[in-house]
Amino acid sequence: MGIVVTVDGPAGAGKSTVAKKLAKELGWRYLDTGALYRAVALTALDRGLPTHDGEGLGALTATLAIRQDEEGRTFVGDDDVSSELRTERVSQAASQVSAHPSVRRALVDVQRRVADDGPLICEGRDMGTVIFPDAALKVFLDASPRTRAERRRDDLQARGEDVDLDELVSQIEERDHRDANRDTAPLLQQDDQIAIDTSEMSIERVLERLRELVVERCENGGTDNRLGNCLDSRIPSGP
């Protein structure tokens, strides 16, 4: 495993935006693990597989060729499904699908393998707790449900969808509850994760804080050589 920075937290805390930007800035790889669960959910919905069928979903996940490219686009086989993953229907289904241990198990290696290709910033719910417990830097981003719902509303409005804010708040709370209370790999913050409440922070400020943390860890390479020389690291370029 190469250098790994994990960013966990609930939906709408700002994880994707900042993790993607920082990875780009540093020339590191970026992995959006929510998109993997979304891709499983989308395929299950397309094939009429119920989201409570843990066995069927586990078998489906094990056979799906899901991958993300350098731009963060998600593919199932050769199909770019990125834009189909962002609907509310897929969000709710992804949260249900991701509660099955069989599905999570089938995605463990898919996620860990990405860290073999160079320094990585990944985001999700269990990156620092389950997938990369030895990551060099672990961050937990949070924000109030209302702030997260407002961000989601702004995203949807930018895409021409009109939505009710209170409805979004209750969808977010429903999803939080499910993600935090499942038996396998629940969303939870641990002591070795650095918590940042982004409710009152701009994306730029969150990005700046994350950058500071990475640099701080790099400078402390002597005591924590998991991040030693990290700022000189780049994804190895191909032949």
The residue sitting closest to ligand DC, measured at its beta carbon, is 34
Burial pattern 91-123, b for ≥16 Cβ within 10 A else e, equals: bbbbbbbbbbebbbebbeebbeebbeebbbbbb
- Show the tokens assigned to 153: 């509303």
Residue 33 binds ligand DC, judged by CB under 6 A: yes
User: Which among 34-42, 54-62, 161-169, 222-230 is the span making contact with ligand DC, rule CB under 6 A?
Assistant: 34-42
User: Which among 52-60, 74-82, 123-131, 142-150 is the span making contact with ligand DC, rule CB under 6 A?
Assistant: 123-131
Residue 34 binds ligand DC, judged by CB under 6 A: yes
Q: How many helices (H) and strands (E) does the chain have?
A: 8, 8
CB 101 to ligand DC: min, Å: 11
* Best CA proximity match to 134, nearest among 239, 5, 40, 229: 5
Q: Which amino acid belongs to residue 20?
A: K
Going across the sheet that includes 66-68, the strands are 66-68, 74-76, 79-80
* Strands (E) located in the chain: 4-8, 29-32, 66-68, 74-76, 79-80, 120-124, 137-142, 194-197
Give the x/- contact pattern for ligand DC in 161-200, rule: CB under 6 A: --------------x---x---------------------
**CB of 138 or CB of 218, closer to ligand DC:** 138
Choosing from 23, 31, 39, 94, the residue that interacts with ligand DC (CB under 6 A) is: 94
User: Which among 33-41, 66-74, 76-84, 205-213 is the span making contact with ligand DC, rule CB under 6 A?
Assistant: 33-41
- Interface positions with ligand DC (CB under 6 A): 11, 33-34, 37-38, 91, 94-95, 98, 124-126, 175, 179
